[in-house]
Structures are given as C-alpha cells and as structure tokens.
C-alpha cells in the first residue's frame, strides 16, 4: 500500500554511512560531561552550522513539556526561522523543573552562543533523560565551553547519534542524496528513542541536516508535513514524551535556487528526500523499542478518510493485547479486530479483511480457514506485516510499532531507581 503521497524512490539515492556532520556546512562535537554515570558514554553534543541556517522544528503537544521545548520554540520565533547551533544533553530531561529549569535551558543557549560568537536566539536546546531532576549546570557549562573550543579549533566530529542516546540499544541514523535543479543535495538525520514513544508531533529527539537551500517558511512546512506521515506514525508504548523535538537545519550550500514556497518540483524533490530519511528513522525507533523482539509495520486502508484510518491504526498499534500476541507468535486476529472496533474510527466489519504475514485471517465479518501453526511460524520473523482493509474508502494510514515483552517491563521498572 502506498503512503498518502507516493514517494518516488528512484529520485532519491541512499548515502551509506552518511552523517549530519558530513553535510556541507555542518560540524559536530561530543563529550562526557558527567550527566551519565559511565565516563565512556557521551552525554553532551553540539551541532553547528558555519553560518546561519534556515531552521524548522516540531515539538511535543504534551501539556507537561520540558524547559528546552519552551526555549527552542521561543528561539525559532525570535530568529524568524534561523539557527547556528543545537546543543543537546542526554541523561537529564530538564522537565518538571520549574523556573530553574527554564533558566538552565536559557543558560545552555547563552553559553553556547558565547562560545560560538552568535546570539542566544540562534541556539536551539534539547534535553533527554530522567524527568524532575535539576541539571548540574557546573558540569554542563564546562562541557559546553569545551565543545565550543573543540568545534572552533579542531572542527571535531564526534559520534553525535550515540551522544543523544538514553535507553536506546543502538544509534539511529539515515542519509540520502537527491538532485534538485541539477544540483546534488544531501540530507542526513540522527534520532533517539526507545521508550515513551507515541509522538503527537515528531520523535523523541530528532535532528536532520541538509545542504539544500530553503526559505524558513518552506522548511517549516515540509518538516511538519513529513513528520505527520513518519514520526507521528510510530508508537512503542502509547506514551507521549515531555521532550519530543524534531529539528531540521538547512545550510543552503547546495548550488540550486532557493526553495521559497511549499510547492513546485524542487520542493517535491526535497520532500521526497526528507521523507525517506525520516521514515527510516521512525522505523528504527520502533525496531529498537525497549525489549522488542518484533518490528511491526501496520497498514490500514479503505477507511472513510485518513483521520479514521489513523484512529484505527493507532488503536491496533498501541494495543497491549495485540502486542503481546505478536510477542508470543500468536495469530490472534480477534485482538486486532477488537482494537480496531474500539478505536472510534468508522467501518463495517462485514466489509473488512485482515492479513498477517501474507496470510488472510479474517474476511467479511468471519475468520477464514487458515493453518494456525503455519502463521505462527511466520510470526517468528523479526519483521511482521499486518494489513487491515476496512472497506473501499480513500482513507489510509501506516504505523510502525513493536511487540510487548518482559524486557519492556524490566527496562522501565528499573529506569528511575
């Protein structure tokens, strides 16, 4: 099943091993400043553009949101969509930390700006980790000073994707090249996320760098559009984080006319490249879900409209009963149909069909004849496909999720204590 807007894969080429610091105009540096207990794990990262970049962001819609979210929103408004740098810490969310948390996030921007020689409004701030703890700002301040020095004197790179991790098992990156008006453009991204995953905007923390030339308004439009079809369609546990943030910075170093509006061939070419990167990152988050043993791709089609398809898809993707059935390789079609039925999306079960791993299990209101052992064996694969058709309407949706195992409980029961 195609996504809402067909992606012309031939227009985009994989960029194996591409990193955000390899995009023209960008540099990164990372270090351990003491937020994480193990010195070998970096916990502070800096992404810098050589000149002011067009910048766009999408943020959590959780009413309980972290101080860096407020500070970064204000910065983008003040700068009118421009940024020189992003400073990120892991190991501490700086969420639910009151007025002191706001001051600390502002201080992170101010200290970074001082080190780089730009304005505080040109620095975006992100934090991730445990909620409710004040940042040890002496450690953070020393780390920012060191990162700024390294960036200026050495152009140091560092492992940006690893420095932003918390409970993630693996770093997550994706990169592509595309052609826009005869010029080669690069798009590279990195993200983190493993638990507390049910974005209502983008992802836990995500960063995309490109050398494409875009006006800030066009960049904001395309980022919000693509996030809705990628990161907003991934869920691990149904919990929307306090810190969810996705940024895209464009250095404009690629030699093509600037994309100034959210339409036209050049805009669509860039959108395709950004979609491929964000879609890959979103699926990597689902695959790295805490305790996950299966990565599930769920397609819903034939709904009244896309909104109904998303209601149905999210209910199925977040159902603990569906997720535990997949964990046990149990072709329990009843759990899937029951989750769809309570979703609030309108459909007729008599006009529906359900296919799991290529086996049709349900059609026209009743189960089909299938070999349960054969389907169960197919569910032993890491990748699981579920296709739910609920009629003949135009609505469709795609979700990435994972199964629910004892591992998820172990990670989260021990996370804080």
> 22 and 144: one domain?
yes
> 283 and 381: one domain?
no
- 243-288 pLDDT, tens per residue? 889 999 999 999 999 999 999 999 999 999 999 999 999 999 888 7
Range of 396's domain? 295-413
Tokens matching residue 190:
């990195």
pLDDT at 2: 40
> 351 and 244: one domain?
no
DSSP state of 21: G
Does any domain span residue 2? Answer: no
> 393 and 305: one domain?
yes
Active site residue 203: yes
Q: Distance (Å, rounded) from C-alpha 117 to C-alpha 133?
A: 30
pLDDT at 146: 96
Residue 6 above 70 pLDDT?
no
Q: Is 33 exposed, middle or buried (0-12, 13-18, 19+ CB in 10 A)?
A: buried
pLDDT at 1: 40
pLDDT at 416: 57
Residue 414 above 90 pLDDT?
no
> 120 and 238: one domain?
yes
- 102-149 pLDDT, tens per residue? 999 999 999 999 999 999 999 999 999 889 999 999 999 999 999 999
Per-residue pLDDT, averaged over 22-51, amounts to 94
Taking Cα atoms as reference points, which of 379, 346, 347 lies closest to residue 365? 347
Give ∠ CA 236-102-44 in degrees, rounded to 5.
60
CA distances, 298 to each of 192, 319, 404 (Å):
22, 12, 15
Residue 3 above 60 pLDDT?
no
> 270 and 385: one domain?
no
Helix runs in 230-362, H state only: 265-287, 306-317, 320-327, 333-341
pLDDT at 415: 58
pLDDT at 122: 98
pLDDT at 408: 80
> Considering 287, 321, 344, which residue would you say is the last residue of a domain?
287
Does any domain span residue 4? Answer: no
Owner of token pair 């992170």: 108
> 217 and 353: one domain?
no
Tell me the percentage of the chain whose pLDDT exceeds 70: 93
Least confident of 150-159, 275-284, 322-331, 376-385: 150-159
Residue 324 above 70 pLDDT?
yes
> Considering 287, 310, 331, which residue would you say is the last residue of a domain?
287
Does any domain span residue 1? Answer: no
- 333-364 pLDDT, tens per residue? 999 999 999 999 999 999 999 999 999 999 99
> 62 and 24: one domain?
yes
Residue 173 sits in a domain whose CATH number is: 3.60.70.12
Residue 371 sits in a domain whose CATH number is: 3.10.20.340
pLDDT at 196: 60
pLDDT at 417: 40
> Considering 257, 287, 317, which residue would you say is the last residue of a domain?
287
pLDDT at 234: 86
CA distances, 76 to each of 56, 73, 106, 223, 231 (Å):
7, 5, 13, 14, 21
29: Cα separation from own chain's centroid? 21
Does any domain span residue 3? Answer: no
pLDDT at 409: 80
Q: Distance (Å, rounded) from C-alpha 71 to C-alpha 21?
A: 24
> 184 and 317: one domain?
no
- 151-204 pLDDT, tens per residue? 988 777 888 999 998 878 889 999 999 999 999 999 999 998 776 655 555 556
Residue 4 above 90 pLDDT?
no
Q: How many CB atoms lie within 10 A of CB 77?
A: 10
Average pLDDT of every residue of the chain: 91
The model's pTM: 0.90
Q: Which of 28, 30, 112, 203 is catalytic?
A: 203
């Amino acid at each position: 099943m195609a996504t809402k807007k067909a992606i012309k894969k031939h227009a985009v080429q994989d960029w194996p091993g591409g990193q955000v610091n390899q995009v023209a105009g960008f540099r990164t540096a990372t270090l351990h400043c003491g937020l994480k207990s193990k010195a070998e794990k970096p916990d502070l990262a800096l992404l810098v553009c050589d000149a002011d970049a067009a910048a766009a962001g999408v943020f959590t819609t959780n009413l309980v949101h972290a101080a860096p979210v407020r500070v970064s929103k204000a910065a983008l408004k003040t700068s009118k969509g421009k940024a020189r740098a992003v400073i990120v810490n892991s190991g501490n969310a700086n969420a639910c930390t009151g007025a002191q948390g706001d001051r600390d996030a502002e201080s992170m921007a101010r200290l970074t700006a001082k080190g780089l020689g730009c304005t505080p409004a040109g620095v975006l701030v992100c934090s991730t980790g445990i909620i409710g703890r004040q940042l040890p700002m002496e450690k953070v301040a020393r780390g920012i000073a060191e990162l700024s020095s390294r960036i200026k004197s050495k152009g140091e790179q560092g492992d940006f994707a690893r420095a932003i991790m918390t409970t993630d098992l693996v770093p997550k990156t994706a990169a592509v090249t595309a052609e826009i008006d005869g010029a080669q453009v690069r798009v590279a991204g990195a993200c983190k996320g493993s638990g507390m995953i049910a974005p209502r905007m983008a992802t836990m923390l995500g960063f995309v760098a490109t050398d494409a030339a875009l006006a800030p308004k066009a960049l904001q439009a395309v980022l919000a559009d693509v996030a809705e079809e990628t990161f907003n369609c991934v869920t691990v546990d149904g919990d929307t984080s306090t810190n969810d943030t996705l940024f895209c910075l464009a250095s404009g170093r690629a030699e093509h006319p600037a994309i100034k509006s959210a339409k036209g061939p050049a805009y669509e070419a860039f959108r395709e490249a950004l979609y491929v990167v964000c879609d890959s990152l979103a699926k990597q988050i689902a695959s790295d879900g805490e305790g996950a043993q299966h990565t599930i791709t769920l397609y819903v089609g034939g709904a009244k409209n896309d909104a109904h398809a998303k209601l149905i898809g999210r209910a199925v993707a977040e159902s603990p009963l569906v997720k535990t059935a997949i964990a046990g390789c149990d072709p329990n079609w009843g759990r899937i149909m029951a989750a769809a039925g309570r979703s609030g999306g309108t459909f007729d079960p008599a006009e529906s069909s359900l296919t799991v791993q290529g086996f049709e299990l349900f059609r026209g209101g009743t189960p089909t004849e299938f070999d349960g052992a054969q389907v169960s064996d197919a569910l032993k694969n890491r990748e699981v496909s579920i296709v739910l058709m609920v009629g003949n309407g135009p609505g469709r949706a795609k979700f990435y999720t994972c199964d629910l195992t004892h591992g998820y409980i172990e990670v989260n029961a021990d996370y804080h204590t």
